[in-house]
Amino acid sequence: MEKTALSQKLEYVKQVLTTANQFDHAVNVLMYDQETICPIDGMEEQGEVMAFLGNESYKLIKEPAFVEAAEYLYEHRSELEELDRVMAEQLHRNYLQTKNVTPELQHEFSRVFNRSFVNWSKAREAADYSLFAPSLHEVTDVNHRMIELRGKDAAGNTPYDALLDDYERGMTSDMLDEAFGACKERLIPLLEKIQKSPKKIRTDFLHRPVNEERQAKMAKWLLTQMRFNFKRGAFTTSEHPFTAGLGRYDTRVTTHYYPDQFLASMYSIIHEGGHALFDQNQPAENHDHFIIDGKTMGMHESVSRFYENRIGRSESFAEFVYPKVCELFPDAMDGVSEKEFYEGLNVVKPTLIRTESDEFTYTFHIIIRYEIEKALFAGEIKVEDIPAIWSRKYQEYLGVSPATDREGALQDVHWASGFGYFPTYAIGNFYNAMYYNRMKQEVAVEDAIREGNFEPVNSWMINHVFAKADKLSPQEWIKDITGREFTPVDFLDYLEEKYSKIYEL
């Protein structure tokens, strides 16, 4: 049977993408190595190799024959089966973003980001922002150039909107200003009430020493309870916990052990484990049709923070995990009741470090970063101004100020590769509050978690949250799950109810 032009081009596109994915896989492995065990003096050379291999992948999709075939598929997308249509739409969106970015320019950009990561690592180690500032100038310039090269195809009304769209399609700064405005309106007064509450929560045990060996045993146990598939995943340590999807059957997570903060590793592994469950439970057909990158960071963060907070800091989870914590951390938990443990998990105390902040004040950490990067990208502030502005905003929102750049503007790696990511953490909270309210109508969530049975929860997530994430835009996706439009209200209602009860307001 003679192949049609459409089927020929479809076959050709998939062949090229198969080869490109092999280069990308190699880059992912090197990136994972760079952030885990690569010595600091070897990072720059490794970054050069990553940039080279990434550029080889990029060259393949910039070949005129590939571009022509991919655009042909997009023009005839109505004739394609669903998953091929989604692939064609994703390729078209990528084409609009990169059509004016040559392989040479892409390689230049990659080198900037890799140098920036190395310089951030050195600056963080030295707690000296001035060592990172030149790289942040370069990153800002590259992000501006990338958006300018898109011209009329740039999403949103402003250059910063285009960056937001890269991480969360359809999201704009106007939408975030409204959502974060609602957060400030409701959470700032509530934080004041919490701080004035006579209710005192015990926290001394949270800083008792626990060695790395015991924390590692707890991390593995938690991943096992969550149903993390160790035949398709692994975990280790890194300076900044993260999840790396290296390939179809290889998803790795990392954590960081602090001798006097055992909760930090517990909750970073639950968070990253959530990301991993999302990756490990993707339909095989999504891999076969090269649409695995269709999900947004807001979707991903909704899942990781769902497991970390909605499940992990709930009363039912505290009841389930309490005996194991006592078993593995007997000295730290000596004389600590289950109620004290639960309240300790949920103590509200403004702190400097985002990844170690409590569930309630976390949103302020995101708002601060959003306001800084939005102003920076709009040219309203300078790179050199960031540490002082950072300190001022932390004092304004949370009443604390960093003593060093390490606990201030250098604590996160994200800006080493650009802007627009941070808001997705808060967006994820808004999403999961919405779908948790839907889930509990169909699943006895608290009973299942109290028994340590993650199967009903995971099953619901797979069928409702994971299944269509690569196929739908975020707005379509959240409406498909909940039947409602995006809103922060569910999340704010949840915080008010939970913390009013804990602090007896």
Mean pLDDT within 341-365: 95
pLDDT for 355 equals: 83
pLDDT for 156 equals: 86
pLDDT higher than 90, residue 476: yes
Of 272, 308, 315, 319, which residue is the catalytic one? 272
137 close to 383: Cβ distance less than 8 angstroms: yes
- Residues ≥6 apart with Cβ < 8 Å to 352: 394, 400, 401, 402, 407, 408, 411
Mean pLDDT within 143-151: 93
Local confidence band at 239 (pLDDT 50, 70, 90 cut-offs) = confident
Q: Please report how the helices 212-226 and 262-280 are oriented relative to each other, as an axis angle in degrees rounded to 10.
A: 30
pLDDT tens by residue, 423-471: 999 999 999 999 999 999 999 999 999 999 999 999 999 999 999 999 9
Mean pLDDT within 237-248: 91
Both structure tokens of 432: 């999961």
Both structure tokens of 22: 């092999």
Phi, psi of 198 (to 5 degrees): -70, -15
Give the CATH number of domain 173-502. Answer: 1.10.1370.30
Rounded CA-CA distance 250/270 in Å is 18
Local confidence band at 153 (pLDDT 50, 70, 90 cut-offs) = confident
pLDDT higher than 70, residue 308: yes
Q: Which residues is 277 bridged to in the sheet?
A: none
DSSP β-ladder status, 233-237 and 250-255: parallel
pLDDT higher than 80, residue 1: no
pLDDT for 231 equals: 97
pLDDT tens by residue, 159-193: 999 999 999 999 999 999 999 999 999 999 999 99
pLDDT for 505 equals: 93
pLDDT for 240 equals: 83
Both structure tokens of 438: 């839907």
pLDDT higher than 90, residue 313: yes
pLDDT tens by residue, 478-501: 999 999 999 999 999 999 999 999
DSSP β-ladder status, 250-255 and 243-247: antiparallel
Mean pLDDT within 79-102: 95
27 close to 50: Cβ distance less than 8 angstroms: yes
pLDDT tens by residue, 378-395: 999 999 999 999 999 999
Local confidence band at 155 (pLDDT 50, 70, 90 cut-offs) = confident
Residue 301 among the catalytic residues: no
256 close to 238: Cβ distance less than 8 angstroms: yes
Local confidence band at 2 (pLDDT 50, 70, 90 cut-offs) = low
pLDDT tens by residue, 55-89: 999 999 999 999 999 999 999 999 999 999 999 99
Q: Which residues is 244 bridged to in the sheet?
A: 252
Local confidence band at 3 (pLDDT 50, 70, 90 cut-offs) = confident
**Domain-by-domain residue ranges, the chain?**
5-154, 173-502
DSSP string, 410-425: TS-SGGGG-SS-THHH
